[in-house]
């Protein structure tokens, strides 16, 4: 019996599908999971199963147990605000897969941005959604105990994005190693770990966050930096000043919600992380696939290197970010 057949049997065991033919319709776009859409008597659902070897050119392995972490994050986030995460319907035994509710009529935020539909108010809502989870889980022992995922976070984020670049760049290695050590040492709030436009749906009720495989109890500055980085990269790629504004609105909305620590300290950490992540998207194990133009890569690389050596708080970094060398 194939793994796919196992999943169908487990969907039946969970009462999600009947005894008739069940079709797993593959959905594309991710590098870390198999994802299928399945029609059921009560409406469409999505089934997700993590991969051990990610779909990237470099060798990049990650524990499949991260599927359990994603389920826990989605359920915890819905406990904070039911609108910001899809409903998990069942955890499945095969390969740490799970089933969740499919949300029709909700485009992916990345697709909206690429199509030129840049809604800066939605970007602000993303910032508010991220900070809401961070605030609700900050300094919470139960949440910390529920997400002991340091090694998974290291494998999926710290090593491929920070340490991989440090191993190749002697000049920046000291600064990058300090950023990586600081990131791993902080246990402040529940971190999603992959807040990217490709993992956010645009619903009538605001942003819906997906793909929390990298969830860890750690430094909330990472989520803020990670999402902002994607907007700044797309500002260079698309040459659209509205993406700079969207990044600024996201950071500003997030900053208003910081109630567990000094905002200035978090924004400085986020600025350091964003600089490192920007460089990683042209030099790391998971380069941004759309940055194929050498000039775009140079624009990002030159700014990121300078920012790693002379860090700026994230709000200043966004204000000063240039889309061209002119």
Question: 166-213 pLDDT, tens per residue?
Answer: 999 999 999 999 999 999 999 999 999 999 999 999 999 999 999 898
Cross-strand bridge partners of residue 189: 218
Q: How far apart are CA 131 and CA 253, in angstroms?
A: 9
* 301 DSSP β-pair partners: none
Please report the DSSP string for 74-124 in residue order: HHHHHHH-GGGSPPEEEE-SGGG-EEEE--TT--BHHHHHHTT---HHHHH
State what percent of residues in the chain have pLDDT above 90: 67
pLDDT for res 66: 56
Task: Output the pLDDT for position 286.
Answer: 84
The residue-averaged pLDDT of 284-298 equals 93
Strand ranges inside 199-240, DSSP E: 200-203, 206-209, 216-218
Q: How confident is the model at residue 56 (pLDDT cuts 50, 70, 90)?
A: very low
pLDDT of 21:
73
Residue ranges, comma separated, of all CATH 3.90.1200.10 domains in the chain are: 109-320
Given 3.90.1170.50, 3.40.50.10540, 3.90.1200.10, 3.30.70.20, which CATH number is that of 109-320?
A: 3.90.1200.10
Task: Give yes or no for residue 141 having a pLDDT over 90.
Answer: yes
Host H or E run for residue 36: strand 33-38
43 versus 268: the higher-pLDDT residue is 268
Report how far residue 30's alpha carbon sits from residue 22's, in angstroms, rounded to the nearest whole number: 23
pLDDT of residue 25: 79
Q: Say if residues 189 and 137 touch (Cβ distance below 8 Å).
A: yes
**3-101, which class in CATH?**
alpha beta
pLDDT digits (tens, 9 = 90+) for 3-25: 477 777 778 877 777 676 777 77
Backbone φ, ψ for residue 291 (5° rounding): -85, 70
Between CA 128 and CA 269, with CA 71 as vertex, the angle to 5 degrees is 40
Radius of gyration of the chain (CA): 19
Rounded alpha-carbon distances, angstroms, from residue 189 to 105, 133, 216, 261, 284: 32, 8, 8, 11, 26
In the chain, CATH 3.30.200.20 sits at: 3-101
* Of 132-136, 154-158, 233-237, the least confident: 154-158
Give the DSSP H/E element, type plus range, for residue 72: helix 66-80
Least confident of 236-250, 257-271, 283-297: 283-297
Top-confidence residue, 62 or 143: 143
Return the minimum-mean-pLDDT range out of 19-23, 104-108, 218-222: 19-23
């Amino acid at each position: 019996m194939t793994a796919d057949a196992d999943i169908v049997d487990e969907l039946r065991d969970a009462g999600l599908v009947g005894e008739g033919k069940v079709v797993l319709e593959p959905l594309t776009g991710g590098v870390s999971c198999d994802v299928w859409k399945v029609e059921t008597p009560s409406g469409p659902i999505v089934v997700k199963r993590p991969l051990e070897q990610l779909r990237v050119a470099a060798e990049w392995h990650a524990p499949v147990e991260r599927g359990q972490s994603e389920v826990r994050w989605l359920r915890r986030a819905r406990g904070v605000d039911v609108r910001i995460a899809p409903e998990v319907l069942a955890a499945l035994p095969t390969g740490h897969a799970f089933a969740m509710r499919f949300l029709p009529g909700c485009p992916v935020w990345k697709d909206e941005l690429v199509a030129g539909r840049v809604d800066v108010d939605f970007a602000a809502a993303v910032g508010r959604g991220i900070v809401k989870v961070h605030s609700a889980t900050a300094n919470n022992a139960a949440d910390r105990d529920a997400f002991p995922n340091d090694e998974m976070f290291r494998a999926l984020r710290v090593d491929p994005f920070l340490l991989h670049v440090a191993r190749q760049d002697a000049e920046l290695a000291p600064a990058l190693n300090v950023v990586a050590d600081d990131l791993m040492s902080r246990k402040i709030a529940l971190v999603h770990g992959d807040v990217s436009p490709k993992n956010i749906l645009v619903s009538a009720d605001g942003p819906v966050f997906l793909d929390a495989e990298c969830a860890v109890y750690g430094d909330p500055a990472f989520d803020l930096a990670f999402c902002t980085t994607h907007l700044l990269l797309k500002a260079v790629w698309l040459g659209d000043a509205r993406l700079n504004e969207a990044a600024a609105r996201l950071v500003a909305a997030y900053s208003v919600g910081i109630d567990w620590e000094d905002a200035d300290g978090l924004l400085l950490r986020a600025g350091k992380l964003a600089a490192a992540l920007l460089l990683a998207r042209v030099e790391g194990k998971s380069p941004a696939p759309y940055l194929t133009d050498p000039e775009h890569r140079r624009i990002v690389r030159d700014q990121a290197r300078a920012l790693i050596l002379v860090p700026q708080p994230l709000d200043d970094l966004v204000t000063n970010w240039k889309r061209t060398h002119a």
